[in-house]
Amino acid sequence: MTYRAPVADIAFTLRHGGGLGTGLGTGLAPAQGGLGPEDIDAVLQEAGRLANDVIAPLNAVGDRTGAVFKDGIVTTPPGWKEAYRAWTAGGWNAVSLPPEWGGQGLPHALNAACIEMWNSAAMAFGIGPVLTIGAAETLAVYGSDDLKRTYLPKLVSGEWTGTMQLTEPQAGTDVGALRSKAERAGDGTYRITGQKIFITYGEHDLTDNIIHFVLARLSDAPPGNRGISLFLVPKFLVNADGSLGARNDARAHSVEHKLGIHASPTCTMVYGDNGGATAYLVGEENRGLAHMFTMMNLARLSVGLQGVGIAERATQQAMQYAHERKQGRALGVTSGSSAIIEHPDVKRMLMTMRSLTRAARAICYATAGAIDGSHGKGDAAKAADNRAALLTPVAKAFSTDIGIEVASLGIQVHGGMGFIEETGAAQHLRDARIAAIYEGTNGIQAIDLVMRKLPLDGGAVVRAYLDELRAIVQAVQATNDPAFGRTGARLAEAVDNLERATAWLLERIESEPQSALAGATPYLRLFGAAAGGCLLAHEALAAKQTGDGEPASRIAIARFFAENIAVQAQGLERTVTEGADSVNTADAVLTD
């Protein structure tokens, strides 16, 4: 089925969905790009067209054919290379990258919208650029002038792609346990030996060079996280004139056979068959993990956007099928059979899909807006930076969790046809499943939220956010529009639930970390339910006020979410504040 980029929805959410407080969430502050509404719309329209016409048709063939590995070479599926060229030719890799290196310097929030569309169109396609863009950002911040001059223009344009290499068999979540070695070559360069696993687009045929960003340990480095350095390791060395030189001592050893995103080659990489791969230090020795975090935070938001993207596509497909498929007769209909969308249970599934998708989109765009806001100086930038830090784990984990749920519901709407691979609904679930795992599992995101983000500024960061949510609730309660139903009351309760759970956790992070850790995952879900509900209500209010953005539809979505999904907040608060005991006394069960 054809994907149609929901450009109008996206534009509306960019303008209003993340528009909390002092415009932090808009992502469109005049300082950044200075684009007017028409410019924004034009960019989104163009991106939507490319996603619809060029990338989306590749999704099924990418899944069927997959990336093929033979003799060290990876061949991407038919049409993949041409699509990548069209995509870079349109300047899409460079949207939010620095103008001094060829980027367009547009807001991250705008690029976030584009990233969503690439991933709706084909998630296995969209994940590659996420890493290249992260690599370019990191190099722009930490690279030497020399490295930047040689590599950055081509990473910005997408002429070369970048990879991000942390994981080793014994070092997944625990990055500090990695063992890849770096030795000083004496000429300012380094030699890397070791093995990395799960390297996305570690090898492929889309570009004629691949620039690996590899974490490794110097022999004299301290153990653990503080002994890790970041290196740039090109697949082909680059001559002084910019032409490609010798093949480096780095190769893909194999490609994984995965549940989904078959067209994205997930490689095991081997360094140093012949003495060591030539490598260049990025930033300072032993500070590699900190440098890599720049890359990781952006990548986390992008993975959240993959969740949104796959949820959007699954919803569109289910919606279309539900309009076309006739089965049974709906209540009140007197003859013939009804489209299944007329049946209340199917409506419930579709409304769940759509409202979860919209909530996750709003959270992700608000996060991107906060990142944009953080680039300036002063208190506002600091507040935006903290807001981005707070929301990033929610954007990543909530969005990817609902990506899986929505894709699974999409199969259910299709009935038996959903289980048949040719229908395409099943691919969305298979693809979506990885997003909850990579770039830090969703459990790690929840722990990050609770243990690192809640304590920011002594809890003031999360409290400020709660105040903003509360203000939205009051605005909803102040409208006397019956179309909102119980939206105000249910959201008020959800924010109460979130507030109490937050306070409970803040009291225990130091004194009872085991309890705080046990409640992290349900807390993140509670955060997403309350914040997502408020953001949807905020959008609905904005639509009602402006007459833009299909007010009736937006109000119905906000109401559905508040009355059917945000109400889970009650149980989630209980799980956070009372469930920890039962987790921590569970050892009798966990013996076998």
CB of 46 to a second copy, least distance (A): 22
Residue 101 makes contact with a second copy by CB under 8 A: no
CB of 271 to a second copy, least distance (A): 19
Element (H, E) at 50: helix 37-50
Residue 521 makes contact with a second copy by CB under 8 A: yes
- Site for a second copy, residues 411 to 430, rule: CB under 8 A: 411-412, 415-416, 418-422, 426, 429-430
**Cα distance from N-terminal residue to C-terminal residue, the chain:** 45
Q: Which stretch binds a second copy (CB under 8 A): 233-241, 273-281, 290-298, 329-337?
A: 329-337
Distance from C-alpha of 65 to C-alpha of 125, rounded to nearest angstrom = 13
The one-character DSSP state at 143 is S
Pairing mode of beta strands 229-234, 210-218: antiparallel
Looking at 3, 84, 142, 198, which residue binds a second copy (CB under 8 A)? 198
Distance from C-alpha of 548 to C-alpha of 84, rounded to nearest angstrom = 35
User: Interface mask (CB under 8 A) for a second copy, residues 149-188, using x and -?
Assistant: ------------------x--x-xxx--x-----------
User: Read out DSSP for 449-512?
Assistant: IIIIITTGGGGHHHHHHHHHHHHHHHHHHH---GGGTTHHHHHHHHHHHHHHHHHHHHHHTTT-
Q: Which residues have CB under 8 Å from 259's CB, separation 6+?
A: 430, 433, 434
CB of 537 to a second copy, least distance (A): 13
Q: Which stretch binds a second copy (CB under 8 A): 18-26, 98-106, 498-506, 513-521?
A: 513-521
Q: Which stretch binds a second copy (CB under 8 A): 74-82, 114-122, 280-288, 408-416?
A: 408-416
Q: Give backbone dihedrals phi and psi of 179, rounded to 5 degrees, phi first.
A: -125, -5
Q: Which stretch binds a second copy (CB under 8 A): 16-24, 51-59, 99-107, 328-336?
A: 328-336
CA 508 to the chain's CA centroid = 29
Residue 518 makes contact with a second copy by CB under 8 A: yes
Considering 137, 439, 468, 539, which one is annotated as catalytic? 439
- Site for a second copy, residues 299 to 318, rule: CB under 8 A: 316
Told to judge if 439 belongs to the known catalytic residues of this protein, a careful annotator would answer yes
Residue 586 makes contact with a second copy by CB under 8 A: yes
286 close to 229: Cβ distance less than 8 angstroms: yes
Residue 520 makes contact with a second copy by CB under 8 A: yes
Residue 253 makes contact with a second copy by CB under 8 A: no
Distance from C-alpha of 48 to C-alpha of 36, rounded to nearest angstrom = 18
Looking at 279, 436, 472, 542, which residue binds a second copy (CB under 8 A)? 436
Looking at 45, 327, 477, 479, which residue binds a second copy (CB under 8 A)? 327
Q: What tokens appear for 438 in the block?
A: 């990579």
Q: How many CA atoms does the CB half-sphere of 99 hold within 13 Å?
A: 6
Question: In the complex with a second copy, which residue's Cβ is closer, 63 or 249?
Answer: 63
Q: Pick left, alpha or beta for residue 182 (phi over 0 → left; psi -120 to 50 → alpha; otherwise beta).
A: beta
- Site for a second copy, residues 529 to 558, rule: CB under 8 A: 550, 552-553, 555-557
User: Interface mask (CB under 8 A) for a second copy, residues 346-365, using x and -?
Assistant: xxxxxx--x-----------
Question: In the complex with a second copy, which residue's Cβ is closer, 148 or 433?
Answer: 433
44 close to 38: Cβ distance less than 8 angstroms: no
Distance from C-alpha of 117 to C-alpha of 282, rounded to nearest angstrom = 31
Residue 579 makes contact with a second copy by CB under 8 A: yes
Residue 436: closest CA among 259, 252, 269, 175: 259
Residues with active-site annotation: 439
